[in-house]
Structure 1
Amino acid sequence: MNKGVLMVNLGSPDSTDPKDVKKYLGEFLMDERVIDVPYAARALLVKGIILNTRPKKSAEAYSKIWWDEGSPLIVLTERLQKKVQSHTKLPVEIAMRYGTPSIKEGLQKLHDQGIDDVMLLPLYPQYAMATTETILVLAEEIRAEFFPKMKITDVKPFYNKPEYIKVLGDSIADSLKGVDYEHLLFSYHGVPERHIRKSDVTSMHCKLDGSCCMSQSKAHEFCYRHQCYETTRLVGEYLGMEPLTYSTSFQSRLGFDPWLQPYTDRTIERMGKEGFKKMAIATPAFVSDCLETLEEIAMEGEEIFHEAGGRDFHTIPCINDRDDWAGVVAGWINEWALVETGKAIA
């Protein structure tokens, strides 16, 4: 079989025009694994309320972080692809779960090159039904309908892989060189608490009681909360940090249902009010910088900190297209090909 790779990221609007933002938000929020309520209720919420109020505000937010080349997330993913491609002979394409290029377009590009064995790499370190799972489900649906002879092998979440922790830890250390800070906050994208329970393959382990994530369980394979806390723990350990000098929080909640806590915005505010003057923040749920990191954290987060009495707010970039990160991804690709064929291809 002829092998190739498809790296899949979240996606982005085609432009900052409210019409493009509305189209993107519609596709994103109507995903049943993002807003996991019955279709009628989801359609009423998204099409009846959110898409009539949010696109203009979101477009303004996107305009604050948009680059001359386009969406930062798309540009950074393209840069990563080029670097990864330089380290492997296998064809490497990219796709977005929402927006363009679509997963179907990515698979089509590989198919047109004669590829019938695809390594699917969701660019999410931690597993969640609203991220990794929705990519895998859609990719399989597209494969079955349009490319029935194609084989897809997905890369498992890499939140605890030593080589990933090293890249993430080194990126944080590099960003913090010369920076005076009192606390490092690891902010992960939030999900509703019910997503954690729905993803519990044991149907009994996840209690969100502060201790279940620390005890051994098969549920951890699909537990976003556990994987986030484990990422923080491993990076803190790698960097030799004292336990009380860093912590974990969750950002970007939507609606009124309970989401994973502690909330990032409230944590930032609390730290400012408690007298912290200098803090740093990393966003390890994201491989590529995007609206949630460049605007929600770097701009809104800093404003919250200043208003609460804080002074220095340092945002750490995502790992983006770092050379060491591209090398790690290429290593996974070449290892996969070696295991499958018994032949080195780097």
Structure 2
Amino acid sequence: MSKGVLLVNLGSPDSTDPKDVKRYLDEFLMDPRVIDVPKWARTLLVRGIILNTRPKKSAEAYSKIWWEEGSPLIVLSERLQAKIAQRVNVPVALAMRYGSMSLEKGLKELTDQGVDEIFLMPLYPQFAMATTETITARIDELIEEQFPGVEVKTLEPFYNNPDYIEVLAKSMTESLEGLDYEHLLFSYHGVPERHIRKSDITKSHCKIDGKCCQTPSEAHKYCYRHQCVETTRLVAAKMGLKEGTYSTTFQSRLGFDPWLQPYTDRTIERLGKEGVKKMAIATPAFVSDCLETLEEIAMEGEEIFHEAGGEEFTTIPCLNDRDDFAQLLAGWIDTWVIKDLKTAIA
């Protein structure tokens, strides 16, 4: 069989034009694994309300962070792809779950080169319904509908992989070198609490009570909250951080249902009001800087902190196209080429 790799990230509008943003948001928010309510309710919410108000505001936000080359997430993902391709001996394609760089195009790029065995690499350290699961589900649909005979193996969430933790901790340490910060915030993208319960394969473990994430369970394999908390714990240990000098929060909530807490924006505000003058923030749910990191955190977060009395606000870049991160992923690919995937990243 001929092997190839498909890297997958979230996606981006084609431009900052509100029409392009609206088209992108429609595909994204109509995904039943993103807004997991009956289709009639999702359609009413998304196409009846959100898409009538949000595209213009989101377009303005994208305009603040857009690069001359295009969407930061796309540009950074392409740079990462190029570095990985230089390090491996199999074709490496890049696709997005949403937007014009579709999964279908990514699969076609590989199969046009004769590839019939694909290593699918969702660029998400932690598992979530709205990230990893929606990618694998859509890939399964496309394989059945358009690419019969193609075999796919998927990279497992790598949130606790020692080599990944080493690279992440090193990148954060380098970004913080010489800075006299008082608190380090690990901010992860939020999800509704119901997503956690839906992903619980035991149907009983996930209580979201502050204890279940520390209690051993097979539910942790698909528990986004546990995997975020564990990422923080492992990185803090690797960096030698002291208890009380760091914490875990969740950002980007939507609607009125309860989402994972504590919330990032409220925590930033609280820290400022409690007298913290210098803080740093990392976003380990993302491997590439994007709207959520560059605008919501680096701009809005800093504004909240200053208004609450804070003075110095440091945003730590995502791994992006760091050489050591590209080498890490390339190493996993090389191992997959010659061994069973489960052995490769165990």
- Which category describes the TM-score, using the shorter chain as reference length? over 0.9
Kindly indicate whether residue 184 of structure 2 is the aligned counterpart of residue 184 of structure 1.
yes
Name the counterpart of 1:48. Answer: 48
Name the counterpart of 2:77. Answer: 77
1:244 partner SS: coil
What is the identity, as a one-letter code, of the residue corresponding to 2:87?
H
Deviations along 1:103-142, whole A, 9 cap, x unmatched? 0000000000000000000000000000000000000100
Name the counterpart of 1:139. Answer: 139
Deviation of the 1:157 alpha carbon: 0.1
Name the counterpart of 1:37. Answer: 37
Kindly indicate whether residue 318 of structure 2 is the aligned counterpart of residue 318 of structure 1.
yes
Name the counterpart of 2:274. Answer: 274
Quick one: distance in 1 between partners of 2:57 and 2:180? 34
What is the identity, as a one-letter code, of the residue corresponding to 1:83?
K
Kindly indicate whether residue 67 of structure 2 is the aligned counterpart of residue 67 of structure 1.
yes
1:313 partner SS: strand
Quick one: distance in 2 between partners of 1:100 and 1:336? 29
Deviation of the 1:100 alpha carbon: 2.3
Quick one: distance in 2 between partners of 1:208 and 1:144? 36
Alignment of 1:29-178 (within 5 A): 29-178=29-178
Quick one: distance in 1 between partners of 2:74 and 2:268? 28
Deviation of the 1:281 alpha carbon: 0.1
For normalisation by structure 1, the TM-score amounts to 0.98
Q: Structure 2: which 5+ runs fail to align?
A: 342-346
Quick one: distance in 2 between partners of 1:244 and 1:149? 53
What is the identity, as a one-letter code, of the residue corresponding to 2:244?
L
Name the counterpart of 2:344. Answer: none
Name the counterpart of 1:219. Answer: 219
Quick one: distance in 2 between partners of 1:99 and 1:327? 27
2:166 partner SS: helix
What is the identity, as a one-letter code, of the residue corresponding to 1:115?
V
Q: Structure 1: which 5+ runs fail to align?
A: 342-346
Identity %: 71
1:5 partner SS: strand
The runs of at least 4 consecutive aligned structure 1 residues that moved more than 4 Å come to none
Kindly indicate whether residue 297 of structure 2 is the aligned counterpart of residue 297 of structure 1.
yes
What is the identity, as a one-letter code, of the residue corresponding to 2:228?
C
Aligned-residue RMSD, C-alpha: 0.7
Quick one: distance in 2 between partners of 1:108 and 1:194? 35
Name the counterpart of 1:196. Answer: 196
Quick one: distance in 1 between partners of 2:89 and 2:169? 28
Deviations along 1:119-174, whole A, 9 cap, x unmatched? 00000000000000000000010011100110000000000001110111011001
For normalisation by structure 2, the TM-score amounts to 0.98
What is the identity, as a one-letter code, of the residue corresponding to 2:328?
V
2:339 partner SS: helix
